[in-house]
Structure 1
């Protein structure tokens, strides 16, 4: 990684790669093939995304954060406007699903881009 904190040409910063699902090597929008599922490789530069170990690390943490925010928002809306229960369901269920899926995309993409830029690998014992 360059010392002056600039990313090489074609390589997007971690935040941009995470928000837009960009390949961490070439910057093409090829990281995902489903709502929160990585593609097997980049269709432009052939970077193998399966070699990175992102897993579902952000899933539980993100679900707790989104759940807390949605519950607080629902309580505020309920106390301010007192809408009927069916309106809560129509409003909060799709909002929760959308926030969790988009959050998973961003979280998983950030971990993959971070692993790629820092050349993360399994630990090895030295032969000293």
Structure 2
């Protein structure tokens, strides 16, 4: 019995490891996880097919429902205690209360969503998930 990897899987001994924290920080800044200078997103949430600076393929990502879920999780943990504190401290009019926290919720959600999408794509890139590994035979073929 031999200890060989299937030809479709990247060989971790041949490829240098990718730094997860650095990639995540670059993703948070919405930059290419490989070079850190090229923009990752085209528009608000559309991930570019390739980095315009280093030509790293980014179309492999499968962010799906991760960024909205994380956005909701984080925003709810910020807004929930804020609502409780504000209501206890100021006892505002209900319409004022709703207006303040609806606007705050939407603003925070719109701010967090592209950043968390960048982080998810960068994590997938650093972990060589979904075809991001250069040794993967499918990494150069678009599906």
State how far apart, in whole Å, the 2-side matches of 1:103 and 1:86 are.
Answer: 26
Work out which of the residue numbers 80, 100, 108 in structure 1 matches 2:109: 100
Specify every segment of 5 or more residues in structure 1 that has no aligned partner in the other structure, as ranges: none
Deviations 1:68-115 (A, max 9, x none): 431221121011012223332332222211222332223221121122
For structure 1, which segment, 70-79 or 101-110, has the greater mean C-alpha deviation from structure 2 after superposition?
101-110
Specify every segment of 5 or more residues in structure 2 that has no aligned partner in the other structure, as ranges: 1-14, 137-143
| Structure 1 position 87 matched with structure 2 position 96 | yes
1:36–1:101 CA contact under 8 A, matched in 2: no
1:32–1:38 CA contact under 8 A, matched in 2: yes
Q: Whose radius of gyration is greater, 1 or 2?
A: 2
Change (3 A) 1:68 1:117: closer
RMSD after superposition: 2.8
The higher relative CO (CA closer than 8 Å, separation ≥ 6) is in: 2
Query: Shift of the alpha carbon at 1:21?
Result: 0.7
Which residue number in structure 1 is paired with residue 44 of structure 2?
A: 35
Query: Shift of the alpha carbon at 1:22?
Result: 1.0
1:18–1:105 CA contact under 8 A, matched in 2: no
State how far apart, in whole Å, the 2-side matches of 1:80 and 1:20 are.
Answer: 35
More helix by share: 1
> TM-score if structure 1 supplies the norm length?
0.71
